[in-house]
């Protein structure tokens, strides 16, 4: 008996770029919205540790939020583009890597010593929003060959 399969979905390159660019913009806007609601509106003193192994707390300004919510998706886009050129399982490989990176990214806000609970929550929400937007949009804009 013949197996019924859905036809392969083709993604127009300009549609792919537009989808990914919108995802990058959306991730920046989502992180910015969370920062605005948390910091100026709710009065959260947003802090994080100064880096791996550091116990010194530093303020997280809006510029850092904008830069990281832009740079992380752009790095993800670059990795996906490379995988699409060199492997037939680009979508699968990229999605696994992206999920692992998202989970690892929670280490800073959730495991950082001395970070106030309100900062932990705000940072975790930012990581989640950026990760979900990028992973969903980039995965949908890609395909395995």
Asked which of 52-56, 94-98, 113-117 is least confident by mean pLDDT, the reply is: 52-56
pTM: predicted TM-score of the whole model, two decimal places: 0.89
Angle between helix 117-140 and helix 13-36 axes, rounded to 10 deg: 170
pLDDT, residue 6, reads 47
pLDDT at res. 27:
98
pLDDT at 13: 84
Residue 109 tokens read as 């806000």
Q: Closest Cα to residue 138, out of 85, 101, 92, 69?
A: 92
Could you give the CA distance from residue 82 to residue 141 in angstroms, rounded to a whole number?
A: 14
The count of other CB atoms within 10 Å of the CB of residue 115 is 20
Tell whether the model's pLDDT for residue 7 goes beyond 70: no
3-state secondary structure (DSSP) of residue 49: strand
Nearest to 142 by CA among 4, 8, 7, 48: 8
Please determine, for residue 34, whether its predicted confidence score (pLDDT) is greater than 80: yes
Residue 115, helix vs strand vs coil: coil
Q: What is the share, in percent, of the chain residues with pLDDT greater than 90?
A: 82
For residue 108, the Cα-to-chain-centroid distance in whole angstroms is 14
User: Whole-number mean pLDDT of the chain?
Assistant: 92
Query: Mean pLDDT across the stretch 55-60?
Result: 93
Model confidence band, residue 2 (pLDDT cutoffs 50, 70, 90): low
Lowest pLDDT segment from 9-13, 54-58, 101-105, 110-114:
9-13
The C-alpha atoms of residue 6 and residue 124 are separated, in whole angstroms, by 37
């Amino acid at each position: 008996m013949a197996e019924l399969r859905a036809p392969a979905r083709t993604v127009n390159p300009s549609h792919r770029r537009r989808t990914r660019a919108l995802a990058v913009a959306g991730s920046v806007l989502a992180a910015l919205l969370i920062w605005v609601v948390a910091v100026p509106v709710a009065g959260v003193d947003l802090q994080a540790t100064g880096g791996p192994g550091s116990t010194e707390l530093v303020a997280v300004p809006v510029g850092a939020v904008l830069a990281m919510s832009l740079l992380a998706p752009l790095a993800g886009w670059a990795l996906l583009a490379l995988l699409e050129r060199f492997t037939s399982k680009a979508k699968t490989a990229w999605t696994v890597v992206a999920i692992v990176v998202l989970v690892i990214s929670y280490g800073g806000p959730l495991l950082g010593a001395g970070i106030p609970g309100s900062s932990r929550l705000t940072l975790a929400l930012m990581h989640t929003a950026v990760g979900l937007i990028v992973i969903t949009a980039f995965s949908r804009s890609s395909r395995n060959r």
